[in-house]
Structure 1
Amino acid sequence: MDLTTPGLDTEAFIRALPKVELHVHLEGSMRPELLLRLARKHGVSTLPGTLEEVRDWYAFRDFPHFVDVYLASVHTLVDEEDFALLAADVAARLAEQNVRYAEVHVSLYGHLMRGVPARTVFDGIEHGRREAEREHGIRLRWIPDYPSDYGPEVAEQTLDAVLAEAPDSVVGFGVGGIEAPFAPVAHLFARAREAGLHSLPHAGEHGGPERVREALDLLGAERIGHGIDAMRDPELVARLAAEQVPLDVSPTSNLRTGAITAIGDHPLPRMIEAGLLVTLNSDDPTMFGTDLTNEYRTAAGLGLDAAALAALARNGVAASYLEEPAKRALAEEIDTVLAEHAGS
């Protein structure tokens, strides 16, 4: 697939492109500098002691190492100020990439299990969100989630906390972690939907196409995190194309976690050719050595031209929970940038 646009300054185009990010984890976006600052604040002595050592430690080695780094970031978040600092910092770095709106996953159970109240988490991230919106104009919304492999009791505890404490900026309920069958939590996602939360699970990164089917049929999924395993099932691909269920794809993450063996093997171009509604995302950017701008570069490297990159950006807008007037304005701005840079 070679759709490259003659004469296009790809880097300038990608940077100018207004963007939406729908699959990025708050805790997986913590910079080494902030990790070290919070570790020192709370007297955490089990982490590397200098910024250079922390940066080296952050460099992705394998999935178990990623889990270690992710858990370390979670454990340095203790009080409201910590969560506010992280939210504001993540939002500022998104804004630097011309991201106008983001729906950010929050590993709520990872904090509840440590005895951090949901109210502390939500008050902190809301403080950071409001600060970022004032300073940078970016808008953030939240998707609390829990790890699938921890079982239905954990799912229920997390959902109870969300329903009791969540601010209006929470748009959905999610599930991540190691993919497990969804039947035991179907009733909980029904509760979440009845309460007005959108069903936004991870599925089909490592768990096979059957997890994607379960997410649709049992969880009422409105959007799928990853979903690349769907490409192994032609009937499922046809269904996703017909129903236009958004798939939030993160190529670098898929490479780092071993879901694909080489970036050139990523099914993103085939997903687009199949008519799937694909969005582009960074997942855990600082821990995977990427960001959303780099994911657009990666997509260009897979052969997508300016029009295809702009279509990914418009898909992000369409799949988001922005208000319709804001969606229309942002889509029009994307078209303007495309015309300016690609002569469309």
Structure 2
Amino acid sequence: MGLSSSESPLEAFIRELPKVELHVHLEGSMQPDTVLQLSRKHGATDLPATLTELAEWYAFRDFPHFIEVYLASIGLLRDEEDFALLTADVAQRLAAQNVRYAELHVSLFGHLIRDIPAHVVFAGLEHARREAERDHGVRLRWIPDFAGDYGLDVGERTLGAVLRDGPSSVIGFGIGGMEVERAPFAELFGRARAAGLHSLPHAGENGGPERVWAAIEELGAERIGHGIDSMSDPRLLDYLRETQLPLDIAPTSNLRTRAIDAIEHHPLPRMLEAGLMVTLNTDDPPMFGTDLHNEYRIAHQLGLSAEDLAGLARNAVAASYMDEADKRSLAAEIDAVMTRWRPALSG
């Protein structure tokens, strides 16, 4: 690999940087052409029928509108073939960005409440996961989750399905949706952790620092999805800095869901300056018009240096649930890329 005639050293560095992504939703990664393909397959009549209409549909007014669109997209996934199709496309796009390993949230609740059995969901995911590793060298792991605003019963059903039908590639359990009180889910997450699943909840995207505290104290969070609201609580910042509890940050997502009012106001630089353990992610890339390369560009535009970008890549490796040997190997690759590009980037 090297510098092509049409790209800057920074672009080439980002392209070559080995990456890990820890906060990306499988269903939220459905490309518009896949939406149209599945819509036509299943004869859906209540969704946009052209790519132009889909682009307008994806112009989110607020977080509730985003959830509405997200759940409508989920409704197009109905059989094993659909889940395999989506997973194969997502894996190929990740590999094209030099993503070596990804932990993907799977909105299992959204399929269970439509009476699609968990074993059908996992069969499609696993078929495509194995092919992705063989054909593209990208390893995928799963974080089944549910929306907290759907209530404890949905959480119970989701965990039950995971414990009954989940493959060994399931590494965690999550909660997302609207940021309702987390205390009612404490015992549920306790059982998930006792079963060997990592606690990986969303918190502090738009619910305030108290939701981050609840994720930590009630759910035993081992990593926080988003967490940008932590910046308004000095005591929480001290805790996060001391424990190095990872925060999975997705700048474009925060802008598109109106969690922030302008990208230049994103707290990512301040989070790093505060000594927090931060990783960079896309959340729902096609819905937000981004990909992981673009998130690294945005981080640079926010004032982060190439060394900082490499640090974010290392953080994602460290915060992942890869085995330790793979972590060491991938971190060494990141260091090698940084060393190779440092002279061009500092010139």
CA distance in 1, matches of 2:23, 2:242: 22
**Which residue of structure 2 lines up, in the alignment, with residue 211 of structure 1?**
211
Q: Which moved more, 1:286-295 or 1:44-53?
A: 44-53
Instruction: Find the residue that maps to 2:129 and give its secondary structure.
Output: helix
Whether 2:272 is the aligned partner of 1:267: answer no
**Which residue of structure 2 lines up, in the alignment, with residue 175 of structure 1?**
175
**Which residue of structure 2 lines up, in the alignment, with residue 3 of structure 1?**
none
Whether 2:20 is the aligned partner of 1:20: answer yes
| TM-score for both structures, normalised by structure 1 | 0.95
Superposed, 1:151-230 pairs within 5 Å as: 151-230=151-230
**Which residue of structure 1 lines up, in the alignment, with residue 132 of structure 2?**
132
CA distance in 1, matches of 2:172, 2:63: 27
Deviations 1:282-309 (A, max 9, x none): 0010001111111000000000001100
Greater RCO (Cα-Cα under 8 Å, separation 6 or more):
1
Shift of 1:50: 3.1
CA distance in 1, matches of 2:49, 2:172: 37
Letter of the 2:191 counterpart: R
Q: Percent identity?
A: 68
**Which residue of structure 2 lines up, in the alignment, with residue 105 of structure 1?**
105
- Does the 8 Å CA contact 1:204/1:229 hold for their aligned counterparts? yes
Shift of 1:11: 1.0
CA distance in 1, matches of 2:224, 2:63: 21
Distance 1:163 1:84, change over 3 A: same
Deviations 1:222-270 (A, max 9, x none): 0000011111001110110100100000000011111111111111001
- Does the 8 Å CA contact 1:32/1:58 hold for their aligned counterparts? no
- Does the 8 Å CA contact 2:28/2:287 hold for their aligned counterparts? yes
CA distance in 2, matches of 1:204, 1:58: 23
CA distance in 1, matches of 2:301, 2:307: 14
Deviations 1:70-123 (A, max 9, x none): 122101100000000001100100110000000000000000011111111111
- Does the 8 Å CA contact 2:241/2:274 hold for their aligned counterparts? yes
Shift of 1:45: 1.5
Shift of 1:56: 4.3
- Does the 8 Å CA contact 1:251/1:266 hold for their aligned counterparts? yes
CA distance in 2, matches of 1:271, 1:297: 17
**Which residue of structure 1 lines up, in the alignment, with residue 301 of structure 2?**
301
CA RMSD of aligned residues (A): 1.3
Letter of the 1:89 counterpart: D
Q: Which moved more, 1:149-158 or 1:83-92?
A: 149-158
- Does the 8 Å CA contact 1:69/1:287 hold for their aligned counterparts? no
Gaps of 5+ in 2: 1-7
Shift of 1:152: 1.2
Shift of 1:52: 4.0
- Does the 8 Å CA contact 2:61/2:257 hold for their aligned counterparts? no
Superposed, 1:270-285 pairs within 5 Å as: 270-285=270-285
Shift of 1:64: 4.3
CA distance in 1, matches of 2:80, 2:36: 17
Whether 2:89 is the aligned partner of 1:89: answer yes
| TM-score for both structures, normalised by structure 2 | 0.95
Letter of the 1:202 counterpart: H
Deviations 1:190-241 (A, max 9, x none): 0000000000000001111111111111111000000111110011101101
CA distance in 1, matches of 2:55, 2:121: 26
- Does the 8 Å CA contact 1:60/1:289 hold for their aligned counterparts? no
Aligned residues: 337
Deviations 1:8-65 (A, max 9, x none): 7211111111100000000100001111111111111222223443344334454444
Superposed, 1:50-129 pairs within 5 Å as: 50-129=50-129
CA distance in 2, matches of 1:322, 1:72: 33
Letter of the 1:108 counterpart: L
**Which residue of structure 2 lines up, in the alignment, with residue 4 of structure 1?**
none
Letter of the 1:217 counterpart: E
Instruction: Find the residue that maps to 1:237 and give its secondary structure.
Output: helix
**Which residue of structure 1 lines up, in the alignment, with residue 3 of structure 2?**
none
